[in-house]
Structure formats: C-alpha cells, structure tokens
Amino acid sequence: MVKILCGIFGCISEDVLEKILDGLKRLEYRGYDSVGIAIIDNNKIIIRKDKGKISEFIKNLDLNNIKSNIGIGHTRWATHGAPSKENAHPHMDCSGRIAIVHNGVLENFLQIREELIKKGHRFSSKTDSEVIAHLIEDFINNGLSLKEAIRNTFKILKGSIACAIISTIEPDKIICYRRESPLVIGISSKGVFCASDIPALLPYTRNIAIIPDDKIVILEKNKVQAEDINGEICKLEYNEVTWNLEQAEKSGYPHFMIKEIFEQPRAISDTLKIPLIYIDRAIEYLENKNKRIYLTGSGTSYHACLFGSYLASHLLSMDIRPVISSEFTEILSSLENSTVIAISQSGETADTLNAIRYAKSKGAKIIGITNTLGSSITNLSDVYICTQSGPEIGVAATKTFLTQLISITLLFLRYGLKKGKISEVDYSKLMSEINRIPKIIEEILKKSDIIKNIALKYSSKQNAYFLARGINLVTALEGALKLKEISYIHAEGYPAGESKHGPIALIEPGFLCIFIAPKDNTREKIIGNIMEMKARGAEIFSIITEGDEEIKEISDEYFEVPHIHYILYPILCTVPLQLFAYYVAVFRGLDPDKPRNLAKSVTVP
Ligand code: AGP
C-alpha cells in the first residue's frame, strides 16, 4: 500500500545538508506545509524547522559553516496540530539526545503522551509524532540501550509509522522503522540513504530496498542492517529501479489520479484511526436539544453531504438537510441554534467558506470536515475532523471523497450510540463492517482490468445516465461527475425513479445507462427501471452485489462488489466508477490529472 502524507529523507554521506535539502525538494510533489532538518555536529543535534516552502526555508538557513555527515529531514503535511514551526518535524526528547521524523498516524499517542507528561516529560508540539522521541527517552532513562528503547517504543505505538531517528548516543547511525507507511533505503558509493519515496534517492542510487513491515533498519557508513522488532537479523531485498523521475513521483503509475484511486485502502485505514476524542468534540456541537443540523459542500464534497443526509435518516431517524454551498445563502434564512457540517477536501473552496461565514453570522456553529489541516475551513470552524487521505494531486477528487464518507459515518454512528439511537450491538456490527472496507477495496482494485475493458467498450459514447435509488443516488451523482469532468462525456446522475419523468425521452438504441444496483431494499424497483431503459434500446452497465444473477442477465456489462451493510455500498460502488471515468478519459486520449477549465481548489465564488 502506498502512503503519502509527509516526506522523509535521511543520509550518511558527505555534504549532508545539501543532500537532505535536495532530497526534500524531490519529495515536494507530495504536498507539504512545513519543513525541517536535524543534523549531528560535534556530537550535538542541530535542528532547524519552519512552516512554509523549502525555498524560503533554505533562504533563512544559517548553517553555512557546519560540516556534518549524518542527518534527517522532513516535509510535513499536517494531520495532528496545525502547520507551525513548533509542529514541524524533527521532534526531540527532553534531553536533546534524540531527534525523530515521522510519517503516519499514531492511534494511541494521546494516552501515552498523558502518561509521559505525568512522568515529567515536556512536549513542545501538538503532534502525535513527538511522543516517539519522548517514549524512546523514557526507556533509555530506565536503563535500556538505544536500540532496545526503539524496539520497545514501536511495540507500544499503534498506527502507521515510517520513522527515521538520529541520536547523540550512537551518533554514527540513522535508525529507521516502518509499519504501513513507506520507507525505502538505498546504498551506493555516494552514501547510505533513506527516504519515504524513490524519487529522492535517484540521484544517488537505483539500487533500492523497501523496508518490510514492522522491521528496523540501521544505517551506518557503507553499511545497512535490518532486524525484526525483537532484534533478529533479517534480509533486505534490493531491486534495480528503472523508472525515470516523473514515473517515480507517481510510484510507477501513469497518472496521479490512478495512483490516488489505488491509495484508497490506506487512506481509509488511516481515517479509521482518527482518535475518538476528535469525533467526540464534534459530537458536542450536535447535541443541543431542538437543534437543526445542515450539511454543506460543493461538487464531490456536496455528494458526501448528501450521503450524510441519507445516513442520518436511516441510522438516526433524523432529518439533516444537505445544501449546496453556492445556494446556501439563498435557501436558508434563520440559522440560530443550528449546526452546519461543512465538508471540503481543500478547505479553501470559496462557496463553502462563504456558506460558513454566513452561517456563523446568523449564529450557527460549524463542524468542518477537511483533508487540509491549517486551511481556512479549520480556522473558521468551531471544531473540525481531518480526513487522513494525504495530499490529493489529481484534480478529480477520489480518495478524499471516500475518506469524507468514512468520517461522516464515524461521526453519525458514534453520535447515534451516545444518543441511544443505535444499540451497542448494532454499533459494533456496523463498525466491524466498516473495518472490512480497506480490504474489500483492495479486492475491488485487483479487478480493475474488468473495468478497463468495459471502459474501452464505452469510451466513444457521447452521453451517459447514472441511475440509482436511495443512498446510492450519492454514487450515481459522483460517478457522473467523475466521468463528466475528466472524459468530457455528457453524464448525468439521476434518482432512477425520477428518470421516467423526463430523462427517459433521450433514450434511444445505444444510449449508455449505468445502474448502481447492489442488493438493498431498492433492488426490485431498480430492476424495473433497468427494464424500462432496456426496452428502449439502452445499453446497460450495472454495479451489483456479487452473485446477483438476475441483474447480470438483464445487463450488457456488470461489475460485482462484495456484500456489505446497505448504507456502506456507496463507499464500495464508487470505486469501479472512479476507475471507469479514469480509463474512459485515458482511452479518449485525455489527461485525467488536468481536466480543462477545472482547478483543484476553486477559490472564487
Ligand atoms: C471533484 O472531482 C471536483 N474537482 C470538485 O467538484 C470538488 O469536489 C469541489 O470543487 C469541492 O472542492 P473541495 O472539496 O476542496 O471543497
């Protein structure tokens, strides 16, 4: 699984500072909000870090006369704690003997941080990562060696981790550890290197090893040694990388969009690890009696709002209204005693920010759901939840959409549990269904060639309807938006029941109708809608639950997804439609990453 959140680069070599800065620049494409480095000079750790871009950081750097041959660097994409100098990596322990950089999400850091504070540790940041340096220090204070302390630390810490550590206790080593987040190493006559992605290593070596999960790797001058978490020596497998720089930035995928589609299992796993305290803080704003709750967002994020609205009705028996952000001020007048859940991956969409400002001016409270910590939405919201997708570079929202759906599900499920609207048993059942999603999506992605062939067959169509009923209307709207924005095919998402009130007039032989028809309580009616379209010569492509022979029979093409609780089908069924849009665009000779007339973040109203 590929993970992009932050960039790590470390090396033991000559001209370490230049190499670290160059390595971090080569990781810039991943997106970041702050930069930092730590080097060892005269047995002292020197740290420089700041919010902002690498170019600015270099301009202000005051380390001209330092000649170090060991160091680590980091570009941070904020997940816990806003972008700031204090929250930038590297982080140190209290004694100044240990510096760490980390990429990933720590699940149990809050509890460990509290225990360490009780023992006298002083924390300088609001990050989850800083706990790593303090925990290592704590073990060392209790008599363990550096390596033993590091092993014990990673045995205790839960979550995704790629970490590089330097210490004055063993100043000739960089110690790396990896679990779920990527970390690669390379060795050549130019030095020994570690980085979170291959492009950073290409100027020095093409002989690269991926650190296996749950392994510690110790880098020394001209030497690399891998151990398991108990200290047993193990082997690393080196491969010769033949990618050019551009291919390497996309981890070998031809476009960012497809890379990001394939990152979804990881993005969802990390979003499922959001500490409950963040969800509970948001719930406080939902709890007042007689409160009205609204959801607002634009484009794909509006589809996440619509999902939230269906979810609230089905799970909580609550009517929560979704409102497109650009219409918010036109449609809502009295917002006193209200809470608005505003969803935006970028956190900078002008329409959504305007809706928030308006709602606030009328006395509403705001819960933000965003992928960008430190964005305007996090500043304007009373409380926010940060989805853990990592930066999304393709203009079409993919992984950020699925993590929005996951976040809103976590929020409403937990709210339902607290309010007694959902029983403990049902909550646990649903949570175990949700926890299956990353694995199921991995399985769906393994079948991407099926979608590729269907996309080839339909790539010259000029029109498509995406039809569904109930909560899968969300999927239909999102599938149509994806196809329209990157393939320029005219595509419309419609409630299937509404199609006979006008849209059916366009149906003639060969018109493409895509039905989202998993097994839920709308299935019988959907079959009726398929037959109506088929009778008029439409070509039918259906997304169905595995083994649904009846819908297979009446469809020209189908794609099967595994069975899941019906409210979660939009999360699964969106994936084949993202792939469909992507492959259609590629077959039409278009660049899916840069659709015409669109920007990643729409900052004008
Ligand atoms: C989605 O593929 C589009 N690029 C677009 O609709 C987008 O979702 C919309 O502009 C909202 O962006 P936001 O989530 O950053 O607010």
Is residue 605 domain-resident? Answer: no
> Which pLDDT score is estimated for 160?
86
Sheet with strand 207-210: strands edge to edge: 44-51, 34-41, 70-76, 7-12, 191-195, 184-188, 207-210, 238-240
For residues 369 and 389, membership in a common domain is answered with yes
For residues 431 and 482, membership in a common domain is answered with no
> Which pLDDT score is estimated for 4?
46
Evaluate if residue 159 carries a pLDDT over 80: yes
Average pLDDT, the chain: 93
Q: What is the C-alpha to C-alpha distance for residues 526 and 517, in angstroms, rounded to an integer?
A: 7
> Which pLDDT score is estimated for 279?
94
pTM: 0.79
For residues 179 and 256, membership in a common domain is answered with no
Q: What is the C-alpha to C-alpha distance for residues 202 and 244, in angstroms, rounded to an integer?
A: 9
Q: What is the pLDDT of residues 274-288, one digit of tens each?
A: 888 889 999 999 986
Confidence of residue 3 (pLDDT cuts 50, 70, 90): very low
For residue 519, with 0-12 CB atoms within 10 Å meaning exposed, 13-18 middle and 19 or more buried, which class applies? middle
Atom from ligand 1 closest to the CA of residue 482 = 2
Is residue 375 domain-resident? Answer: yes
Confidence of residue 240 (pLDDT cuts 50, 70, 90): confident
CA 393 to centroid of ligand 1, rounded, Å: 12
**Substitution candidate for ligand 1 out of 256, 298, 484 with most atoms within 8 A of CB:** 298
Q: What is the C-alpha to C-alpha distance for residues 405 and 336, in angstroms, rounded to an integer?
A: 27
Pick the catalytic residue: 6, 163, 194, 513? 6
> Which pLDDT score is estimated for 604?
66
Confidence of residue 170 (pLDDT cuts 50, 70, 90): very high
Which CATH number belongs to the domain containing residue 125 in this structure?
3.60.20.10
Q: What is the pLDDT of residues 551-577, one digit of tens each?
A: 999 999 999 999 999 999 999 999 999
For residues 261 and 332, membership in a common domain is answered with yes
Task: List the single range of 158-162, 223-227, 564-568 with lowest mean pLDDT.
Answer: 158-162
For residues 342 and 211, membership in a common domain is answered with no
> Which pLDDT score is estimated for 391?
79
Q: What is the mean pLDDT of residues 330-337?
A: 91
Single residue among 221, 240, 259 that ends a domain in this structure = 240
**Substitution candidate for ligand 1 out of 380, 602, 603, 604 with most atoms within 8 A of CB:** 602
> Which pLDDT score is estimated for 65?
78
Q: What is the mean pLDDT of residues 152-181?
A: 95
Question: What's the CA angle centered on 364, arms 360 and 370, to 5 degrees?
Answer: 75
| Annotation marks residue 6 as catalytic | yes
471 within 8 A of 570, measured Cβ to Cβ: yes
Evaluate if residue 31 carries a pLDDT over 90: no
* Ligand 1 close to Cβ of residue 296 (< 6 A): no
Q: What is the mean pLDDT of residues 99-108?
A: 92
For residues 289 and 406, membership in a common domain is answered with yes
Structure tokens at 500: 């006979």
Single residue among 430, 446, 462 that ends a domain in this structure = 446
Q: What is the mean pLDDT of residues 72-78?
A: 92
Single residue among 195, 213, 240 that ends a domain in this structure = 240
Pick the catalytic residue: 190, 447, 534, 600? 600
For residues 140 and 202, membership in a common domain is answered with yes
| Annotation marks residue 500 as catalytic | no
Spell out the alpha helix ranges (H) of 327-423.
Answer: 328-331, 350-361, 376-380, 399-418
* Ligand 1 close to Cβ of residue 404 (< 6 A): no
Is residue 602 domain-resident? Answer: no
Kindly state the DSSP code that residue 159 receives in the 8-state scheme. Answer: B
β 191-195/184-188 pair status? antiparallel
* Ligand 1 close to Cβ of residue 301 (< 6 A): yes
Is residue 149 domain-resident? Answer: yes
Evaluate if residue 5 carries a pLDDT over 80: no
pLDDT above 90 coverage of the chain, percent:
80
Q: What is the pLDDT of residues 182-206, one digit of tens each?
A: 899 999 999 999 998 888 898 999 8
* Ligand 1 close to Cβ of residue 299 (< 6 A): yes
Is residue 305 domain-resident? Answer: yes
For residues 401 and 545, membership in a common domain is answered with no
Evaluate if residue 326 carries a pLDDT over 80: yes
Q: What is the pLDDT of residues 499-534, one digit of tens each?
A: 989 999 999 999 999 999 999 999 999 999 999 999
Evaluate if residue 2 carries a pLDDT over 60: no
> Which pLDDT score is estimated for 605?
66
Is residue 583 domain-resident? Answer: yes
pLDDT above 70 coverage of the chain, percent:
98
Is residue 577 domain-resident? Answer: yes
Q: Domains in the chain: how many in total?
A: 3
Q: At 336, is the secondary structure helix, strand, or coil?
A: coil
Q: What is the mean pLDDT of residues 486-491?
A: 97
For residues 257 and 226, membership in a common domain is answered with no
> Which pLDDT score is estimated for 78?
83
For residues 107 and 163, membership in a common domain is answered with yes
Q: Find the domain containing 480 and state its range.
A: 447-592
For residues 297 and 414, membership in a common domain is answered with yes
CA 323 to centroid of ligand 1, rounded, Å: 15
Confidence of residue 244 (pLDDT cuts 50, 70, 90): confident
311 within 8 A of 408, measured Cβ to Cβ: yes
Residue 432 amino acid letter: S
Which CATH number belongs to the domain containing residue 269 in this structure?
3.40.50.10490
Q: What is the mean pLDDT of residues 9-38?
A: 91
* Ligand 1 close to Cβ of residue 602 (< 6 A): yes
CA 347 to centroid of ligand 1, rounded, Å: 10
Is residue 597 domain-resident? Answer: no
Which residue's alpha carbon is at the smallest distance from atom 5 of ligand 1? 299
Which residue's alpha carbon is at the smallest distance from atom 13 of ligand 1? 344
Q: What is the pLDDT of residues 432-487, one digit of tens each?
A: 999 999 999 999 999 999 999 999 999 999 999 999 999 999 999 999 999 999 99
CA 298 to centroid of ligand 1, rounded, Å: 6
Q: What is the C-alpha to C-alpha distance for residues 81 and 79, in angstroms, rounded to an integer?
A: 6
Evaluate if residue 298 carries a pLDDT over 50: yes
For residues 150 and 11, membership in a common domain is answered with yes
Q: How many CA atoms lie within 13 A of 283 on its CB side?
A: 17
